[in-house]
């Protein structure tokens, strides 16, 4: 099996396994297509938390994506990849003072605040530096709109400020001089595969934005409609039809843009932009039978790909997978014996990447790929379990492979540990 003319086997030999391989041309194609079908007034911001690799973001940024970041490192990643401060927003429920100050110093477009307490803190920090910082209020919607796999509204949450509290907050511009409240942000859910749900969410956010303006007197420099566009992972799911998405969203965008000239309209997307471009590449170490079931024990697992393993979900469902070995074309018939269970090196029965999938008869040394793995992979997994650390990441762009993150080596991981020394006198002591 090849990617842009390069054998996966050659990538595995050069960069080792387990590793993540990203198809840069797929990344570029996805952002380009999304920007082309959506109303031009809607700007797409990439959620770096879905894939914080700097080169992955660089490709998306070159294709037109702005940046939505949630930590100091993500902020620096976005800036170093070339995003203009004016195209960056920072959100997250527990921002540190250091992070807030970094936002002020970089002069990013907006800080999305998630509580009034945080807004007060930002006001003080901005006043101390005599700068004005645009702020979007993240609103926790009063209702949930069904259709996403993780709904956000209608529940007590650490995210955002309850709709009721925002509407009851009174005259905000007179209370905050340095924190320049000028817009709202709403994130209604993730893994949405129904265009109608996206339309309903967007209608709700626009209607809410007008209500917030009427109640609080803020300017509306920006409305962030969230996003949460999904991709198909499992049997029975299908990818969003972008033509349908455009049909739902574009008339709403058009109407709102005409009524609110000068208001920036923001769509956030992580999974949709990144997931399909990534393959988790792992090598089978051993095969064995246990009580009639065929196991392939591989070098990768939960520690790099918790989503595929399905930790936290009730039923084990399999991500799409494929045999990547050079001779895979000759071995495409699924094993007559049927089904393979692919597990990793961790000492827990949960470390099962694929449960009874139809793959050709496997043997030690075979190369496997878990597809659609470009979002919420290693950075969203317990990478330090059994001290394996981060895998290598490789970006293939225009037929050339680039190492875009080195794997953690044992020395990298050991360096952070300190053997305690009882002869030291400068350590903190209790009385």
The residues of the shown chain that bind ligand PLP, judged by CB under 6 A, are 47, 49-50, 91, 187, 190, 226-229, 268-272, 375
Q: Report the residue number whose CB is nearest to ligand PLP.
A: 270
Between helices 72-80 and 97-106, what is the axis angle to 10°?
20
d(C-alpha 25, C-alpha 79), whole Å: 22
| Cβ contacts of 162 within 8 Å, gap of 6 or more | 139, 140, 142
| Cβ contacts of 188 within 8 Å, gap of 6 or more | 141, 144, 145, 148, 151, 152, 153, 201, 204, 205, 226, 228
Instruction: CB nearer to ligand PLP: give 25 or 379.
Output: 379
The candidate with the shortest Cα–Cα distance to 19, out of 227, 324, 254, 250, is 324
> Shortest gap between Cβ of 226 and ligand PLP (angstroms)?
6
Q: At 88, is the secondary structure helix, strand, or coil?
A: strand
d(C-alpha 351, C-alpha 342), whole Å: 9
> Shortest gap between Cβ of 75 and ligand PLP (angstroms)?
15
Instruction: CB nearer to ligand PLP: give 9 or 118.
Output: 118
The candidate with the shortest Cα–Cα distance to 212, out of 181, 189, 175, 188, is 181
The candidate with the shortest Cα–Cα distance to 351, out of 391, 387, 303, is 303
The candidate with the shortest Cα–Cα distance to 266, out of 182, 162, 158, 372, is 182
Instruction: CB nearer to ligand PLP: give 87 or 268.
Output: 268
| Cβ contacts of 45 within 8 Å, gap of 6 or more | 65, 66, 67, 68, 87, 89, 224, 266, 267, 268, 269
The candidate with the shortest Cα–Cα distance to 185, out of 144, 225, 145, 219, is 225
> Shortest gap between Cβ of 92 and ligand PLP (angstroms)?
8
Instruction: CB nearer to ligand PLP: give 49 or 372.
Output: 49
> Shortest gap between Cβ of 281 and ligand PLP (angstroms)?
22
Instruction: CB nearer to ligand PLP: give 176 or 187.
Output: 187
d(C-alpha 14, C-alpha 8), whole Å: 10
Q: Are 234 and 22 in contact (CB under 8 A)?
A: no
> Shortest gap between Cβ of 364 and ligand PLP (angstroms)?
36
> Shortest gap between Cβ of 50 and ligand PLP (angstroms)?
4
d(C-alpha 279, C-alpha 153), whole Å: 32
Instruction: CB nearer to ligand PLP: give 227 or 344.
Output: 227
> Shortest gap between Cβ of 152 and ligand PLP (angstroms)?
8
Instruction: CB nearer to ligand PLP: give 306 or 375.
Output: 375
Q: At 136, is the secondary structure helix, strand, or coil?
A: strand
Instruction: CB nearer to ligand PLP: give 22 or 187.
Output: 187
> Shortest gap between Cβ of 34 and ligand PLP (angstroms)?
11
Burial degree of 93 (CB within 10 A; 0-12, 13-18, 19+): middle
Buried b (16+ CB within 10 A) or exposed e, 309-320: bbeeeeeeebbb
Instruction: CB nearer to ligand PLP: give 140 or 341.
Output: 140
> Shortest gap between Cβ of 227 and ligand PLP (angstroms)?
5
Give, rounded to a whole angstrom, the gap between the first and last alpha carbons of the chain. Answer: 65
Instruction: CB nearer to ligand PLP: give 157 or 203.
Output: 157
18 prior amide bond cis, ω within 30: yes
> Shortest gap between Cβ of 264 and ligand PLP (angstroms)?
16
């Amino acid at each position: 099996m090849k990617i842009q003319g390069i054998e996966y086997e050659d990538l595995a030999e050069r960069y080792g396994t387990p590793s993540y391989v990203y198809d840069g041309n797929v990344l570029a194609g996805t952002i380009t297509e999304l920007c082309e079908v959506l109303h031009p007034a809607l700007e797409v911001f990439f959620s770096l938390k879905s894939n914080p690799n700097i080169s992955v973001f660089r490709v998306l940024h070159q294709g037109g994506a702005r940046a939505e970041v949630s930590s100091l490192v993500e902020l620096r990643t976005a800036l170093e990849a070339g995003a203009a401060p004016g195209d960056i927003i920072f959100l997250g429920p527990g921002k540190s003072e250091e992070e807030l100050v970094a936002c002020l110093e970089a002069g990013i477009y907006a800080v999305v605040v998630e509580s009034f307490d945080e807004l007060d803190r930002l006001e003080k920090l901005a006043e101390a530096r005599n700068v004005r910082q645009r702020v979007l209020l993240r609103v926790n919607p009063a209702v949930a709109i069904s259709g996403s796999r993780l709904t956000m509204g209608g529940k007590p949450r650490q995210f955002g400020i309850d709709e009721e509290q925002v509407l009851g907050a009174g005259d905000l511009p007179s209370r905050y001089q340095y924190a320049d409240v000028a817009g709202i942000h709403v994130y209604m859910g993730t893994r949405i595969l129904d265009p109608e749900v996206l339309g309903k969410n967007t209608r709700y956010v626009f209607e809410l934005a007008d209500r917030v303006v009427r109640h609080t007197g803020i300017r509306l420099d920006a409305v962030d409609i969230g996003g949460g566009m999904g991709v198909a992972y499992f049997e029975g799911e299908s990818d969003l039809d972008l033509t349908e998405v455009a049909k739902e969203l574009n008339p709403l965008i058009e109407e709102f843009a005409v009524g609110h000239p000068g208001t920036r309209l923001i769509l956030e997307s992580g999974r949709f932009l990144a997931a399909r471009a990534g393959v988790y590449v792992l090598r089978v170490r051993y095969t064995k039978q246990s009580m009639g079931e065929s196991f392939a024990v591989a070098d990768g697992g939960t520690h790099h790909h918790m989503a595929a393993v399905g930790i936290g979900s009730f039923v084990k469902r399999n991500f799409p997978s494929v045999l990547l070995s050079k001779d895979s074309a000759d071995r495409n018939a699924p094993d007559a014996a049927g089904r393979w269970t692919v597990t990793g090196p961790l000492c827990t029965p949960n470390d099962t990447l694929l449960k009874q999938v139809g793959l050709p008869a496997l043997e030690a040394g075979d190369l496997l790929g878990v597809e659609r793995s470009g979002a919420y992979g290693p950075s969203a997994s317990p990478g330090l379990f059994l001290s394996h650390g981060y895998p290598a990441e490789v970006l293939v762009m225009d037929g050339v492979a680039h190492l875009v993150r080195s794997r953690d080596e044992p020395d990298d991981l050991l360096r952070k540990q300190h053997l305690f020394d009882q002869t030291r006198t400068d350590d903190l002591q209790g009385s």
